Homo-oligomer: A and B are copies of this chain.
């Protein structure tokens, strides 16, 4: 096998397409958001990415079927009022090493560059370390026009955050995209505690993204149901042991299975 194997499952011919990335990360905010859009828009998978930079692991589903961990590319034609094409990147894991992160991101950028993509939206969470009531969406972008446009739609470009930059695929898609592939990018990060999967932060990110893309028809019901489910489990833990806080490893581990 090659270090990164891209398996195309069907031919697609995106036009005016943008890339939307939602890989696992803080609170799984980006992954939940991207998967929700994929589900609601009936986007179809067109490529799988297997790589030595992922964990050497299969996941086993409830039927006993083993599935190789991978990243996946989905495609949705003519979405929203502007009939734009969407390409989604999501998956089980990000690259496990810094070098893997670079090479996987560069490979995705090469693929979408071939499709004429010149804009990427990378979605993620911004861990605040404390419970968030009403998550803001923090942003970073590759140029000042995108920063201004983001502000118009409610994105917060806060001098304080993120002070140490953006690590991982969401950051690399912007940085490598801008410098090596001439692709612009806007990163949207929903505020989240960082302790649980956070569908509420995902919804906050999605609301802004959908406005930016002029897509109106999307229902948030599935995401809201998931948010309620997480909240109910969170509350149960709180009642069991209110003194211990919410940051304990055991709890967050458990909650990661949701979503």
Contact = CB atoms under 8 A, between A and B. Distances in A.
Copies in the complex: 4
Residue with the greatest number of chain B CB neighbours at <10 A, chosen from A5, A56, A172: A56
Nearest to A110: B1
B58 A165 contact: yes
Contact of A56 (B67, B163, B164, B167): B167
A58 B140 contact: yes
Contacts of A5: 180
Interface string A47-74: 0101111111111101111111110000
Interface of A: 1, 3, 5, 7, 48, 50-60, 62-70, 95-96, 98-99, 101-103, 105-106, 139-144, 147, 150, 157, 159, 162-169, 171-172, 174-176, 178-180, 185, 187, 257
Given A53-B99, A56-B98, A62-B159, 14 more contacts: A1-B176, A7-B180, A50-B180, A55-B98, A57-B165, A57-B167, A58-B165, A58-B174, A60-B165, A63-B144, A64-B141, A69-B175, A96-B98, A163-B257
